[in-house]
Amino acid sequence: MLGFNKKIVLNYRIFGNINVPLTIKEDSNIMSAKSRILVLNGPNLNLLGLREPTHYGNNTLAQIVDALTEQAHNSGVELEHLQSNREYELIEAIHAAYGKVDFIIINPAAFTHTSVALRDALLGVAIPFIEVHLSNVHAREPFRHHSYLSDKAEGVICGLGAQGYEFALSAAIAKLQAK
């Protein structure tokens, strides 16, 4: 599995032709391989920029993903993205992430309030995740207030628009570096 591993740093002093280790220290913030973060977006998010801009903003999903890709690149992590209107495709992506992805950022959209299957998939692979919503779901219709994922998420970000994804990515990177 990709991720952060401890790296042993040796300081040597040369005595003649022999290198003798003087100090040994562990550095847990050195990345041995690029961490991989998967961003999943649920139903109707392909319509961002068109659909209810008062709730979801004017940014398209492509613009959001482009900004995240740049942020990930600048932070030295790999980013993968999938948007699907089909629950099973999101579940398959979660299953495929096992052993290959270090963190998931998910905006389950309408599946937030209905999908025990997404919850079970996330619990099954035990990959830490952050739940993101563009709008403040708690200031909207009562049926949007419940999430099947929130109690298992590392964190939940809602109501901050596209910037919420950037905050989620920053938090995911910080959590991976803290390992």
Interval 96-109: pLDDT, tens = 999 999 999 999 99
Interval 37-59: pLDDT, tens = 999 999 999 998 887 767 766 89
**Binding-site residue set for substrate:** 107, 113, 120, 134-135, 144
> Per the domain annotation, does 59 fall within a domain?
yes
72 band by pLDDT with thresholds 50, 70 and 90: very high
Kindly give the interhelix angle for 87-97 and 116-125, rounded to the nearest 10 degrees. 10
**With contact defined as beta carbons under 8 Å apart, do 33 and 168 qualify?**
no
Number of domains in the chain: 1
| Residue 60: domain span | 36-178
Interval 118-135: pLDDT, tens = 999 999 999 999 999 997
CATH of the domain at 41: 3.40.50.9100
Q: Would the pTM of this model clear 0.85, i.e. be above it?
A: no
- What is d(CA 41, CA 134) in angstroms, rounded to the nearest whole number? 11
Catalytic residues: 56, 133
> Per the domain annotation, does 98 fall within a domain?
yes
**Binding-site residue set:** 107, 113, 120, 134-135, 144
